[in-house]
């Protein structure tokens, strides 16, 4: 019986040992190694996606540099825009000053023509015929065709003769150019000559525009003999404005040029 029982115990111990759920040592080692490798991969992956301080600083400085570039570009753009505007303004000012200088010189030369004519003996001498005075006025108009009418006016304000016969015999004693011309050289502001339109072949919707010029005719004793007067077409000024301003306006489409007077506002443009 003892032998049988011993065999039974030994058999049970073997069965129990063979049926145990504990894994062999080599299996446990493999599992442990596998877990360690998995943890290592996780740590490595985490480290790969964590930027270093050098990377962070580089990115920060790069962003600052980009921001500085944008701000600098905007500032440079504003400075350039101001410079361009200033250059254009300076160009317009220069052109305007050029137009003003040419107009001033042109009026001075036309007034000098009238003064020279008023100083001639043929105008001062009352014994000179009307034809002699007319020839002087005709030559003056031929020299500068922008004169619409040139006339010799008696001291009483009546037109004695003109270059074309227009206004001969007319009473202009109440006109500003005669009243001012008796006192000294005179240049009027620009004005529409509506009453003169039909005499010059212009319709009432397109009257001529004149600048009036006048200078006194005086004898040797300074007594007033008469007045030499002229109506100057304003188109001569338009020609100056076109000549000077056309290149400027071509470079700056949409810009406009105006010539203004103190009393009547816009004269050109």
What confidence tens digit (pLDDT) does each residue in 178-232 have?
999 999 999 999 999 988 888 888 888 889 999 999 999 999 999 999 999 999 9
* SS3 labels along the chain: CHHHHHHHHHHHHHHHHHCCCCCCHHHHHHHHHHHHHHHHHHHHHHHHCCCCHHHHHHHHHHHHHHHHHHHHHHHHHHHHHHHHHHHHHHHHHHHHHHHHHHHHHHHHHHHHHHHHHHHCHHHHCCCCCHHHHHHHHHHHHHHCCCEEEEEEEECCCEEEEECCCCCCCCECCCCHHHHHHCCCCEECCCEECCCCCHHHCCCCCCCCEEEEEEEEEECCCCCEEEEEEEEEECHHHHHHHHHHHHHHHHHCCCCCCCEEECCCEEEEC
The CATH superfamily of 83-268 is PAS domain (3.30.450.20)
Percent of the chain with pLDDT over 70: 63
137-152, pLDDT tens digit by residue?
999 999 999 999 999 9
pLDDT digits (tens, 9 = 90+) for 164-187: 999 999 999 999 999 999 999 999
pTM of the model as a whole: 0.65
Domain locations in the chain as residue ranges: 83-268
């Amino acid at each position: 019986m003892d032998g049988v029982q011993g065999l039974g115990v030994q058999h049970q111990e073997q069965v129990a040992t063979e049926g145990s759920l504990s894994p062999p040592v080599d299996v446990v080692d493999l599992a442990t190694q596998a877990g360690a490798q998995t943890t290592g991969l996780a740590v490595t992956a985490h480290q790969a996606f964590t930027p270093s301080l050098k990377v962070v600083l580089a990115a920060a400085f790069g962003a600052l540099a980009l921001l500085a570039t944008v701000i600098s570009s905007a500032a440079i753009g504003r400075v350039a825009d101001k410079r361009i505007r200033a250059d254009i303004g300076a160009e317009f000012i220069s052109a305007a000053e050029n137009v003003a200088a040419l107009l001033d010189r042109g009026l001075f030369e036309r007034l000098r023509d009238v003064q020279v004519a008023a100083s001639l003996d043929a105008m001062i001498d009352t014994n000179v015929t009307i034809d002699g005075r007319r020839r002087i006025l005709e030559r003056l108009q031929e020299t500068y065709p922008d004169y619409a009418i040139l006339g010799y006016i008696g001291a009483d304000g009546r037109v004695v003769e003109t270059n074309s016969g227009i206004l001969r015999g007319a009473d202009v004693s109440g006109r500003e150019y005669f009243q001012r011309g008796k006192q000294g050289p005179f240049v009027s502001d620009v004005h529409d000559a509506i009453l003169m339109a039909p005499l010059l072949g212009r319709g009432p919707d397109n009257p001529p525009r004149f600048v009036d010029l006048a200078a006194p005719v005086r004898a040797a004793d300074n007594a007033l003999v008469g007045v030499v007067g002229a109506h100057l077409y304003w188109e001569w000024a338009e020609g100056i404005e076109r000549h000077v301003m056309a290149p400027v306006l071509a470079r700056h489409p949409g810009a406009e040029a105006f010539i203004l007077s103190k009393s009547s506002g816009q004269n050109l443009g």
